Structures are given as C-alpha cells and as structure tokens.
Amino acid sequence: MAEFDFDLFVIGAGSGGVRAGRMAAAMGVKVGMAEDRYMGGTCVNVGCVPKKLFVYGSHYHEDFENAAGYGWNVQANGFDWPTLRDNKTKEIERLNGIYRNMLKNAGVNLIEGRARITGPNSVEVSGQEYSAERILIATGGWPFVPEFEGSEHAITSNEVFYLDEFPKRALVVGGGYIAVEFAGIFAGLGAETSLIYRGDMFLRGFDEEVRRFTAEEVAKKNVNLRFNNNISKIEKQSDGSLLAYMTDGTVLEADTILYATGRVPNVTDLGLETVNVEQQKNGAIVVNDNFETSEPSVYAIGDVIDRVQLTPVALAEGMALVRNLFGGQDQKVDYDLIATAVFCQPNIGTVGLSEEQAREQYSNVDVYKSSFRAMKHTLSGSDEKTFMKMLVDRDTDKVLGIHMVGADAGEIIQGMAVALKAGATKAVFDSTIGIHPTSAEEFVTMREPAK
C-alpha cells in the first residue's frame, strides 16, 4: 500500500499548476490537482486571453476610420457589447474544456473544490482529506482594491469581462499595464473614459521615454489622463450611476469604475498556518531557486511567489520544478531578459534594460532611437506615431535593451528577445539586412546614436 495518496498534489489549475501537473503525470508521477474556480487560471479566464480579445474588438473603430484613406467606404452601425462579451465567453469555455481534457488525458486526478493545506503532507478538499508526498501551491494572484468609502461600488478585472451593460462613462484607476490596457479598451469601444493615477506618470518601471511617448499616444485616442489624482469616495446614485469624489476637489460621474491598482498573492484561506511556510509582508510565498518553501514538502510557483507575474514565467517555473524533482535535472529559471508587452493602444514591447537602468549599470551607454509615422498611416490619415529605442554598451557593443511603442510591438520584440538572449551586439544588428517595407527593419538601420 502506498504511503501517500499522491506523489504530488497541485493546488491551483492555472498556467503554472497545469503545466507542472501534466509534465509530472507524463513522467509516471501520481498527481492530484484541486481547483475551485475555473480551469486555466487568471490568464485564460480573466486575464491575458479575454483581454487580448477585447483589445482586438476595441481597435476596429480605428480600422474602419483608417480604411477610408484606402478607398473603402465602411459604415459602422454601432457596437453591440453582448456579442463581444458572449463570444468571448464561448471561447473561454472552449479553452476551459481543453485544459480539463489535457489534464484528464495526462492522468491527473482533478478534484473540484477549494483546497486547504492541513499539514506538511495533507490537503483537504470539500471535506475529504488527501495525503501527498509533495504539495505544490500555484494559486496565482488576486486583484487588490484599497478600502475607502464606497469602494464596494468599484469593480476589478475579475468582473469587467462579464458586465451586463457596457458603460457610457468609465473611470479606470491605476497606473500599471492592466489599467492602461483597459482604458484603451473602454475608449475604443465607445465609452467616455478617464484614467486616474496617483503618480505623475503611469507604467512605473518602464523606460521613461517610453512612458511619456505612450502617454501622448494614449491621450490621442480619447483617454482623459488624470495624473497626480485619486478617488477619495464613491457614491452610488439612485439611477445606478456613480459619483467619484477626487482628491483634487472635482467630482466625476461614471457608470463603471474599474480598479486596476495591483494584484496580491492569492493565499487567503489556504491553510498556510498549518505548515512552516515563510511569507513576505504582502502574503507572497518565499521560495529558493528550486521553488522550495521553508517547509521541505511544500513548493510554490507562479504569481503566488510574486517574482515576475507573467504567464510564460509561471510555465517555465513549473517545468523547471518538475524536471528537477522527477527528472533528475538541476534546472534554474533564467529571469534575465524577459520580454514583455503592454497591449495598450498602440502596443508597447520591451526587453532588457531601460535607459535609466542602463546608465546606472554601465558607464558608457549609446542610445539609438527613432520616431516616425508608420507607412500605413501615410494614407489612413491617422496621426499615430511609432517609437523605437535601442540601448548599447559602447565598451562591448552589446545591446542592453530594446523598446518599441507601436502596432504589433509585442510580435516584433519577441524576435528581438531571442537576439538579446543570444548576446547580440550592435554590429550584429547593423549587419542584418532588414525586411522592407516594415517597421521592424528600423531596428537594423539605426546608424547614429541620439545626441
């Protein structure tokens, strides 16, 4: 008789947990997995997948306008929110089924319900206790809304994908990528939109020039940017609309107020008090490079450890953990040069160091940059601009960072990330022949550093 019910019990069927569970099961490991919400976690259900679908949907009004310059007489008869919302939901449900079948086909024992750790080698789900040699926590993150008068009237990214009615007036609060993306979505779909951020510029941590260029472009797309401001109180009126009392003394009226003010590790009611698992002040689970907690039988990966909150990072962490535990390997996740994108409008793509970081770490930095109106818009009439930037260590010629604001920036920067990971120098870029005419070719035709 086996000593434990499972060799590995995974709490959370998000990106990292599913990848780890499937890989382990494929190696012959007996895997149990518990999920109490939805298959695929945040990314599939209330994160990157539905958000990107909404971004696509919100951009069509611009496409219709731009088509006129190319001879197309396109008349939009209005936007139907239920169609977008419900088609998105059907796609998410399809993906939920795929995740469920993948786990089943891999041999993972999926248990639906809230899992709570009851000891170093035990987990309870819906009144049933299971023993496990190892427990993996992969519960992800959760939206954070500060408490203030009327904060219960605000929504988060958990609810925004399922609104009964699309708002005529929307306020988005926050300065991170989720806030900037949803401000573009609301505005693109026709809502009168304001983005409220308590700081003087959104997207803290990104290259300063990229932040300011993005702000100019976002403002062109009917997003009212209200920096150095915040909401002190929300009051619900009899007709269901909301009054937002601002710290600058003004009052804004809205139908929907979305708070995108950060995410915190999802560790509530997880039973961590029953084991010796060290946590940070924000609840994040502390792990070493092998994703081991201070409790030898308990591991954690993904957003719950609050290292880099990106789906591909959670996948990489899950794969490394399983290869090390059950494959006899000693693999470490390399967090250097992780490319990322912000699907605001226009998009941001970035990899490597910002100019500020580069100048802190290197004594001689050359900056190459270009700002231009993309070829598409020479006929469309749009005044949208594209911005590109490359940072180079003059002493070694190594490329330290690449940044782009413009159409399909994420698609372009993904390829650039491979080049930087391979250690490409500026000379390598200069010797590469570009694809013409494209925006991407600009990265191999930048010849002189900016003054």
Rounded to 5 degrees, what are φ and ψ at 307?
Answer: -95, -75
Six-digit token string for 56: 């696509």
For residue 445 the two structure tokens come to 């035709």
Give the 3-state DSSP-derived string for the chain, with helices as H, strands as E and coil as C.
CCCCCEEEEEECCCHHHHHHHHHHHHCCCCEEEEECCCCCHHHHHHCHHHHHHHHHHHHHHHHHHHHHHHCCCCCCCCCCHHHHHHHHHHHHHHHHHHHHHHHHHHCCEEEECCEEEEECCEEEECCEEEEEEEEEECCCEEECCCCCCCHHHCECCCCHHHCCCCCCEEEEECCCHHHHHHHHHHHHCCCEEEEEECCCCCCCCCCHHHHHHHHHHHHHCCEEEEECCCEEEEEECCCCCEEEEECCCCEEEECEEEECCCEEECCCCCCHHHCCCCECCCCCECCCCCCECCCCCEEECHHHHCCCCCHHHHHHHHHHHHHHHHCCCCCCCCCCCCCEEECCCCCEEEEECCHHHHHHHCCCEEEEEEEECCCCHHHHCCCCCEEEEEEEECCCCEEEEEEEECCCHHHHHHHHHHHHHCCCEHHHHHHCCCCCCCCHHHHHCCCCCCC
**In angstroms, rounded to a whole number, what is the distance separating the alpha carbons of residues 370 and 396?**
22
Is-contact 410 341, C-beta < 8 A?
yes
For residue 25, what are the contacts with CB-CB under 8 A and spacing of at least 6? 31, 103, 106, 107, 108
- Catalytic residue ranges: 436
Using omega within 30 degrees of 0 as the cis cutoff, is the peptide bond preceding 143 cis?
A: no
Q: Give me the phi and psi of 27, to 5 degrees please.
A: -90, 5
